[in-house]
Amino acid sequence: MNFLDFLNESVTPYHTVGCLKRFFEESGNGRMRIWERGGSIIVTAAPQKAHPGSRFRILLAHTDFPALKITPNPDLRTAGIQTLHPEIYGSPIYASWFDRDLGYAGIVLYELDGKIEKTLIRSKELLRIPQLAIHLNRNVNQDGLKVNPQTDLNALWSSREGAKFVEALQAYLPKGARLLDFDIQLFDAQPAQRGGLEGEWIFSGRLDNLSSCHAVATGMAKASAERYDFQVACFLNNEEVGSLTREGAAGSFLRSVLEQLLVEHGLFQPGDPKMSLDRFFSESLAISLDMAHAEHPNFPAKSEPNHAPILGKGVTLKINSQKRYASDVFSSAQFKMICKKAGVPFQTFVMRNDMPCGSTVGPMVSAALGIPTVDVGEPMLSMHSIREMTAVQDHENLVKLVSAFLT
């Protein structure tokens, strides 16, 4: 699966799931099973021979990213322009959304012949959120751009008076269909591309965390069947808003899949006091893949000394004493062994003590299931901007790490 094509297609979590599902179905690997729930998908592969010593090799990534979501009744008209009002999803860098070519995309549910159907849509028309001219904001360069997310992020959509967003969505539906609901968000319409003197970087929207999704999918598709262990690739939605949803890492989706796999292979029976899920989970291993902060050349003081990953210099191991990352001494040791055997270089990231640390799906999965978990990722710049940056070499090493871990 071409990385840039994947980035360009996966403009919402639903499009990401659709792309991943098609990729795995077309991979010709009949031993894999696909489990889908909303904007999440889990792909599993059984071992050659399941037995009581079998464990799980789990990869975790998330399908969502900071965005501006179109509200249920978004239509506003000001200064002769029809605008669409968004609601903030996650924590985007507001200023990065100005003066960009934007599209809208997502999932639409509708009624047809008494049944609820769904379809993915992606706009052909472009939208824009123009910035205020410097003549009307004289101190913007000295004071910085201050953005009110309630009033400043309405997207300019049409000059046609009376244009309604729901009527535009209706055009994507079959004849006779009745629109029921939608989950639509704006996205950066500029295609992903290579950058740098030697094409060593990738510039794109949604790198956090589609880079990890692509690495997991590529490694999973290439992996041969493990002798005894189950291989599990999880692509989970709603990480950017805390994961406390039915399809998120804090929901029941992953646990129910793992339990069903054990039941189907006769390794676990609910209610049997002689059988315990904890035994399988405690000896398994999960790798949580999410993007990491690279040292910024213009702001080196923002990085922790001796713990600032450099673009292109290796996969990042993420450590945090407040346990915002799941990595501990036991899981980190296993990660280092995998890197050594696979010849994958790695760097270590620690957040400064005077700055808050972000988190991933790793801690909540590890805590809920008792599975040792290590947090890793590609170093990147412009995290949570509408347009981000990572290194080609780091992405290739992440794919290599995934393949080594699975087999």
Tell whether 272 and 349 lie within a shared domain.
yes
In this predicted structure, the answer to whether residue 274 has a pLDDT above a threshold of 80 is: no
In this predicted structure, the answer to whether residue 118 has a pLDDT above a threshold of 70 is: yes
Tell whether 280 and 367 lie within a shared domain.
yes
Report the alpha-carbon angle 400-286-377, nearest 5: 50
Tell whether 235 and 382 lie within a shared domain.
yes
User: In b/e form, how buried is each residue of 161-179, taking b as 16+ CB within 10 angstroms?
Assistant: eeeebeebbeebbeeebee
Q: Is 305 inside any structural domain?
A: yes
* 87 strand-pairing partners: 69
User: Are residues 40 and 34 in contact, defined by beta-carbon separation less than 8 angstroms?
Assistant: no
In this predicted structure, the answer to whether residue 242 has a pLDDT above a threshold of 90 is: yes
Average pLDDT of the chain is 96
Question: In which band, very low, low, confident or very high, does the pLDDT at 27 lie, cut at 50, 70 and 90?
Answer: confident
For the domain that residue 303 is a member of, what is the CATH number?
3.40.630.10
Q: Calculate Rg over the CA atoms of the chain.
A: 22
Tell whether 19 and 71 lie within a shared domain.
no
Cα distances from 21 to residues 54, 251, 332, 402, in angstroms, run: 26, 21, 31, 19
Q: Which one of 161, 188, 215 terminates a domain? A: 188
Q: Which one of 153, 188, 223 terminates a domain? A: 188
Q: Is 200 inside any structural domain?
A: no
Tell whether 71 and 161 lie within a shared domain.
yes
Cα distances from 303 to residues 91, 208, 300, 306, 350, in angstroms, run: 20, 19, 6, 9, 8
Tell whether 273 and 340 lie within a shared domain.
yes
Mean pLDDT within 41-67: 95
Tell whether 183 and 318 lie within a shared domain.
no
For the domain that residue 77 is a member of, what is the CATH number?
2.30.250.10
Q: What is the 3-state secondary structure (H, E, C) of 334-348?
A: HHHHHHHHHCCCEEE
Tell whether 73 and 60 lie within a shared domain.
no
Instruction: Please tell me the distance from the alpha carbon of residue 14 to that of residue 264, in angstroms, as a whole number.
Output: 29
Mean pLDDT within 110-117: 97
- Total number of domains constituting the chain: 2
Q: Which one of 142, 161, 188 terminates a domain? A: 188
Sign of CA dihedral 48, 54, 56, 57: negative
In this predicted structure, the answer to whether residue 188 has a pLDDT above a threshold of 70 is: yes
Q: What are phi and psi of 21, to 5 degrees?
A: -60, -45
Domain of 129, in residue numbers: 67-188
The model's pLDDT over 189-240, given as tens digits with 9 standing for 90+, comes to: 999 999 999 999 999 999 999 999 999 999 999 888 889 999 999 999 999 9
Single out the residue of 232, 217, 288 nearest to residue 3, CA to CA: 217
Tell whether 43 and 56 lie within a shared domain.
yes
The model's pLDDT over 139-150, given as tens digits with 9 standing for 90+, comes to: 999 999 999 999
Q: Which two tokens stand for residue 251?
A: 């929901």
Q: Is 194 inside any structural domain?
A: no
Tell whether 59 and 107 lie within a shared domain.
no
The model's pLDDT over 312-366, given as tens digits with 9 standing for 90+, comes to: 999 999 999 999 999 999 999 999 999 999 999 999 999 999 999 999 999 999 9
Tell whether 183 and 122 lie within a shared domain.
yes
pLDDT of residue 224: 86
Give me the residue label for tokens 């039941």. Answer: 263
Tell whether 61 and 108 lie within a shared domain.
no
Q: Is 198 inside any structural domain?
A: no
Question: In which band, very low, low, confident or very high, does the pLDDT at 271 lie, cut at 50, 70 and 90?
Answer: confident
Instruction: Please tell me the distance from the alpha carbon of residue 382 to that of residue 188, in angstroms, as a whole number.
Output: 14
